Amino acid sequence: MNRLFGSAPKAPKPTLNSAISTLDGRISSVDVKIASLNAELGGYQAKLGKMREGPGKAALKAKALRVLQRRKQYEAQRDQLQGQVWNMEQAQALQDNLAGVMTTVDAMQTTQKELRRQYGKVDLDRIDRLQDDMADLLDVGNEIQESLSRGYELPDDVDEAELDAELELLGADLEHEAGLDAGAVPDFMREEVPEFIDEPPQSAAAKVQEAAR
Protein backbone atom coordinates (compact mmCIF):
# COMPACT_ATOMS: atom_id res chain seq x y z
CA MET A 1 0.00 0.00 0.00
CA ASN A 2 2.78 2.39 0.81
CA ARG A 3 4.32 1.71 -2.60
CA LEU A 4 1.09 2.67 -4.36
CA PHE A 5 -0.10 5.61 -2.35
CA GLY A 6 3.01 6.53 -0.44
CA SER A 7 3.28 7.16 3.29
CA ALA A 8 1.48 10.03 4.96
CA PRO A 9 3.70 13.02 5.68
CA LYS A 10 4.78 13.17 9.28
CA ALA A 11 3.23 16.23 10.92
CA PRO A 12 5.09 17.93 13.74
CA LYS A 13 3.98 16.87 17.18
CA PRO A 14 1.62 19.32 18.83
CA THR A 15 2.89 21.34 21.72
CA LEU A 16 1.09 22.74 24.73
CA ASN A 17 1.23 26.23 23.30
CA SER A 18 -0.33 25.14 20.01
CA ALA A 19 -2.98 23.12 21.82
CA ILE A 20 -3.86 26.05 24.06
CA SER A 21 -4.10 28.33 21.04
CA THR A 22 -6.43 25.86 19.32
CA LEU A 23 -8.71 25.62 22.35
CA ASP A 24 -8.75 29.40 22.75
CA GLY A 25 -9.99 29.62 19.16
CA ARG A 26 -12.76 27.11 19.86
CA ILE A 27 -13.80 28.97 23.00
CA SER A 28 -14.01 32.21 21.03
CA SER A 29 -16.23 30.49 18.46
CA VAL A 30 -18.52 29.15 21.18
CA ASP A 31 -18.72 32.61 22.75
CA VAL A 32 -19.89 34.02 19.43
CA LYS A 33 -22.66 31.38 19.24
CA ILE A 34 -23.73 32.05 22.82
CA ALA A 35 -23.92 35.77 22.11
CA SER A 36 -26.08 35.06 19.05
CA LEU A 37 -28.43 32.87 21.09
CA ASN A 38 -28.67 35.53 23.78
CA ALA A 39 -29.69 38.07 21.15
CA GLU A 40 -32.32 35.65 19.84
CA LEU A 41 -33.67 35.09 23.35
CA GLY A 42 -33.83 38.81 23.85
CA GLY A 43 -36.02 39.14 20.77
CA TYR A 44 -38.34 36.38 21.98
CA GLN A 45 -38.56 38.00 25.39
CA ALA A 46 -39.59 41.32 23.85
CA LYS A 47 -42.29 39.63 21.75
CA LEU A 48 -43.64 37.49 24.60
CA GLY A 49 -44.03 40.56 26.76
CA LYS A 50 -46.46 42.06 24.24
CA MET A 51 -48.44 38.89 23.46
CA ARG A 52 -51.55 37.57 25.20
CA GLU A 53 -51.90 34.04 26.43
CA GLY A 54 -52.81 31.69 23.63
CA PRO A 55 -51.49 29.17 21.13
CA GLY A 56 -49.22 31.75 19.44
CA LYS A 57 -47.53 32.71 22.69
CA ALA A 58 -47.15 29.06 23.67
CA ALA A 59 -45.43 28.28 20.35
CA LEU A 60 -43.09 31.23 20.79
CA LYS A 61 -42.25 30.06 24.29
CA ALA A 62 -41.40 26.61 22.89
CA LYS A 63 -38.92 28.20 20.46
CA ALA A 64 -37.40 30.26 23.25
CA LEU A 65 -36.98 27.12 25.37
CA ARG A 66 -35.14 25.35 22.54
CA VAL A 67 -32.82 28.35 22.15
CA LEU A 68 -32.21 28.37 25.90
CA GLN A 69 -31.32 24.66 25.82
CA ARG A 70 -28.86 25.21 22.99
CA ARG A 71 -27.28 28.11 24.91
CA LYS A 72 -26.85 25.92 27.99
CA GLN A 73 -25.17 23.24 25.88
CA TYR A 74 -22.76 25.77 24.44
CA GLU A 75 -22.08 27.17 27.90
CA ALA A 76 -21.29 23.67 29.18
CA GLN A 77 -19.04 23.09 26.20
CA ARG A 78 -17.26 26.39 26.86
CA ASP A 79 -16.75 25.45 30.51
CA GLN A 80 -15.18 22.15 29.46
CA LEU A 81 -12.87 23.85 26.99
CA GLN A 82 -11.84 26.45 29.57
CA GLY A 83 -11.09 23.63 32.04
CA GLN A 84 -8.86 21.94 29.47
CA VAL A 85 -7.09 25.21 28.78
CA TRP A 86 -6.52 25.72 32.51
CA ASN A 87 -5.03 22.26 32.92
CA MET A 88 -2.73 22.73 29.94
CA GLU A 89 -1.65 26.15 31.20
CA GLN A 90 -0.70 24.58 34.51
CA ALA A 91 1.24 21.88 32.69
CA GLN A 92 2.92 24.56 30.57
CA ALA A 93 3.90 26.44 33.74
CA LEU A 94 5.40 23.26 35.19
CA GLN A 95 7.26 22.62 31.96
CA ASP A 96 8.62 26.18 31.91
CA ASN A 97 9.71 25.89 35.55
CA LEU A 98 11.42 22.59 34.83
CA ALA A 99 13.20 24.12 31.84
CA GLY A 100 14.35 26.98 34.05
CA VAL A 101 15.62 24.53 36.67
CA MET A 102 17.51 22.54 34.06
CA THR A 103 19.06 25.73 32.70
CA THR A 104 20.15 26.70 36.21
CA VAL A 105 21.61 23.25 36.85
CA ASP A 106 23.51 23.34 33.56
CA ALA A 107 24.88 26.78 34.38
CA MET A 108 25.97 25.62 37.84
CA GLN A 109 27.71 22.57 36.39
CA THR A 110 29.52 24.71 33.83
CA THR A 111 30.56 27.16 36.56
CA GLN A 112 31.77 24.32 38.77
CA LYS A 113 33.93 22.90 35.99
CA GLU A 114 35.38 26.34 35.26
CA LEU A 115 36.13 26.96 38.93
CA ARG A 116 37.87 23.62 39.25
CA ARG A 117 39.93 24.39 36.17
CA GLN A 118 40.89 27.82 37.48
CA TYR A 119 41.64 26.63 41.01
CA GLY A 120 43.77 23.85 39.55
CA LYS A 121 46.16 26.55 38.31
CA VAL A 122 46.60 28.06 41.78
CA ASP A 123 49.78 27.00 43.63
CA LEU A 124 49.14 27.40 47.36
CA ASP A 125 52.79 26.83 48.23
CA ARG A 126 53.80 29.62 45.88
CA ILE A 127 51.25 31.94 47.49
CA ASP A 128 52.66 31.10 50.92
CA ARG A 129 56.18 31.85 49.70
CA LEU A 130 55.01 35.16 48.27
CA GLN A 131 53.42 36.05 51.58
CA ASP A 132 56.65 35.23 53.43
CA ASP A 133 58.68 37.29 50.98
CA MET A 134 56.33 40.23 51.40
CA ALA A 135 56.63 40.00 55.18
CA ASP A 136 60.44 40.00 54.92
CA LEU A 137 60.38 43.01 52.61
CA LEU A 138 58.12 44.89 55.01
CA ASP A 139 60.53 44.15 57.86
CA VAL A 140 63.44 45.43 55.80
CA GLY A 141 61.47 48.56 54.93
CA ASN A 142 60.71 49.21 58.60
CA GLU A 143 64.39 48.84 59.48
CA ILE A 144 65.32 51.29 56.73
CA GLN A 145 62.79 53.82 57.97
CA GLU A 146 64.06 53.50 61.53
CA SER A 147 67.63 53.95 60.34
CA LEU A 148 66.79 57.04 58.30
CA SER A 149 64.81 58.62 61.10
CA ARG A 150 67.60 58.16 63.67
CA GLY A 151 68.91 61.49 65.12
CA TYR A 152 72.57 62.61 65.13
CA GLU A 153 74.65 64.46 67.79
CA LEU A 154 71.85 64.14 70.27
CA PRO A 155 72.92 62.27 73.41
CA ASP A 156 70.35 59.91 74.72
CA ASP A 157 71.43 60.18 78.37
CA VAL A 158 70.52 63.84 79.00
CA ASP A 159 68.30 64.22 82.05
CA GLU A 160 66.38 67.11 83.60
CA ALA A 161 69.11 67.90 86.18
CA GLU A 162 71.65 68.57 83.43
CA LEU A 163 69.10 70.69 81.59
CA ASP A 164 68.47 72.83 84.70
CA ALA A 165 72.22 73.27 85.28
CA GLU A 166 72.76 74.29 81.66
CA LEU A 167 69.95 76.84 81.80
CA GLU A 168 71.31 78.28 85.07
CA LEU A 169 74.76 78.62 83.50
CA LEU A 170 73.35 80.40 80.48
CA GLY A 171 71.48 82.79 82.74
CA ALA A 172 74.64 83.66 84.67
CA ASP A 173 76.49 84.40 81.44
CA LEU A 174 73.75 86.70 80.26
CA GLU A 175 73.78 88.64 83.56
CA HIS A 176 77.57 88.99 83.38
CA GLU A 177 77.47 90.38 79.86
CA ALA A 178 74.73 92.82 80.79
CA GLY A 179 76.92 94.21 83.64
CA LEU A 180 79.84 95.18 81.39
CA ASP A 181 80.46 98.93 80.71
CA ALA A 182 79.88 100.35 77.29
CA GLY A 183 83.57 101.31 76.87
CA ALA A 184 85.03 98.12 78.26
CA VAL A 185 86.80 95.79 75.98
CA PRO A 186 84.98 92.48 75.59
CA ASP A 187 86.72 89.33 76.68
CA PHE A 188 87.07 88.01 73.14
CA MET A 189 88.95 91.25 72.13
CA ARG A 190 91.29 91.38 75.10
CA GLU A 191 93.34 88.52 73.80
CA GLU A 192 93.92 90.42 70.56
CA VAL A 193 95.62 93.47 72.24
CA PRO A 194 99.37 93.37 71.51
CA GLU A 195 101.72 92.90 74.46
CA PHE A 196 103.96 95.84 73.49
CA ILE A 197 101.27 98.43 74.26
CA ASP A 198 101.89 99.70 77.77
CA GLU A 199 98.64 101.54 78.26
CA PRO A 200 95.23 100.64 77.11
CA PRO A 201 93.90 102.71 74.24
CA GLN A 202 92.02 105.87 75.19
CA SER A 203 88.54 106.50 74.10
CA ALA A 204 87.57 109.43 71.85
CA ALA A 205 86.00 111.31 74.76
CA ALA A 206 89.20 111.08 76.83
CA LYS A 207 91.26 112.45 73.95
CA VAL A 208 88.93 115.47 73.64
CA GLN A 209 89.20 116.24 77.35
CA GLU A 210 93.01 116.00 77.25
CA ALA A 211 93.22 118.39 74.27
CA ALA A 212 91.00 120.89 76.10
CA ARG A 213 93.48 121.06 78.95
pLDDT at 53: 82
Query: Tens of pLDDT along 195-206?
Result: 544 555 555 555
Range in 22-31, 46-55, 95-104, 123-132 the model is least confident about: 46-55
pLDDT at 6: 53
pLDDT at 75: 92
Q: Does 35 score more than 50 pLDDT?
A: yes
Cα R_g (the chain), whole angstroms? 61
Query: Tens of pLDDT along 67-109?
Result: 889 889 999 999 999 999 999 899 889 988 998 999 999 999 9
Percent of the chain with pLDDT over 90: 18
Q: Does 187 score more than 80 pLDDT?
A: no
Q: What is the pTM of this model?
A: 0.45
Range in 16-30, 127-141, 166-180, 190-204 the model is least confident about: 190-204
Phi-psi region of 6 (alpha: psi -120 to 50; beta: other; left: phi over 0): left
For 85, how many CA atoms within 13 A lie in the half-sphere containing its CB?
16
Q: Given pLDDT bands bounded at 50, 70 and 90, which one contains residue 5?
A: low
Residue from 184, 152, 15 nearest 88 by CA = 15
Q: Does 185 score more than 60 pLDDT?
A: no
User: What average pLDDT does range 163-176 have in this prediction?
Assistant: 74
Q: Does 55 score more than 50 pLDDT?
A: yes
Report the alpha-carbon distance of residue 49 to residue 43 in Å, rounded: 10
pLDDT at 208: 47
pLDDT at 171: 74
Percent of the chain with pLDDT over 70: 72
Residue from 12, 57, 22, 61 nearest 41 by CA = 61
Report the alpha-carbon distance of residue 114 to residue 100 in Å, rounded: 21
